[in-house]
Structure formats: structure tokens, C-alpha cells
Amino acid sequence: MPSADDIQQIVQKYVELVAAHQPEAVADLFAADATIEDPVGSELKTDRAAFVEFYSVIAGMEETTSELLWSRVAGDTAVFEFRLRVATAGHGYEVQPVDIMTFGEDGKIATMRAVWNPATDIKIL
């Protein structure tokens, strides 16, 4: 099992890559049989093509920044909050999801669930 430090480094890398316009690199962090539920309650994404498509939406923004605000790691699980700011066509938006990730023995993300509500948690900048 990856150490707490290993998991923390993967979380930091994930937050950085989400804003780096590199959906393929983000998808590389996930196990082949991983699932993404973002936001919680939405349809599960269950394969690499779906992961790349999902993160490509963010990569398509003209400006993107992200910042890890806090994180906790216990066993194979990380919980963290990060700030994601995006801008396109002169409009800016911010969201601060709380993500819950579990990790496999290989250090790949096995599950990711993002806790946020699109109806109330998107801030217009």
C-alpha cells in the first residue's frame, strides 16, 4: 500500500494537473478499473476515455488555476479540498470541492468522489 506521504504527493499532483490543461496526465493517475463520481450523485465515469473527456472540459478553459487548501490521509484514503478557478470568454468561475479518493496497492487512484453542488457551489468571479 502507498504510504501517507505517497498519497499526499499524488493528491498534490492531481490538483496541479487538473489546472495544467493535461487531461491525459490526470487520467494516468487513475487505475484502469477506477471510478469517478463528480459531483456525488452524478453518473459514474468508469474508463480512461470517460476520464479524459471529463478533464478535457477543464483543459478547454482559457485560464485555469488550482490550489490545494487542506488534506487528510488515513490508510488508503485521502480527503481534501481545493480551489479551482477557470475563465473563458471573459467569464470566470470558482468552485471548492471536497474530494474523497481511495488508492490501490499500486498507488493509483481507485475511486474519486467530489462533494459539491453545481446549483449552489459555483461562484461567479
The 3-class SS string of 31-86 reads EEEEEEECCCCCCCECCHHHHHHHHHHHHCCCEEEEEEEEEEEECCEEEEEEEEEE
Active-site position among 5, 14, 47, 93: 14
14 annotated active-site: yes
Active-site position among 28, 33, 38, 55: 38
Tell me the catalytic residues: 14, 38
